Amino acid sequence: MQGNIFTYFAAMFAGYLLVQVSLADSFLSSIDSAVDIIGIITVIVFAAVLIFKGVKQLIHKS
């Protein structure tokens, strides 16, 4: 169970890094907006999964 949590956190962190990466001076500059969108969606999805799993864990503890 804990391994999954760290995997979700790593995926969320990777999405954050995709948002922060600068592709302006490279040959990939044409897909810069697509990389930003993928990063934002990744952060939102995996943050929601972590919140859901945390709330689920709190409910089952009580």
| pLDDT score at 1 | 56
**Digit-coded pLDDT (tens) for 1-25:** 566 889 999 999 999 999 999 888 8
| Predicted structure pTM score | 0.82
pLDDT at position 48 is 95
* Alpha-carbon radius of gyration of the chain: 15
**pLDDT of residue 36 exceeding 90:** yes
With a CB cutoff of 8 Å and minimum separation 6, the contacts of 15 are 38, 39, 40, 41, 42, 43, 46
Question: Span 26-47, mean pLDDT?
Answer: 93
> In which domain, by residue range, is 36 found?
2-61
- Tally of domains within the chain: 1
Cα–Cα dist 51/31, whole Å: 30
pLDDT at site 47: 95
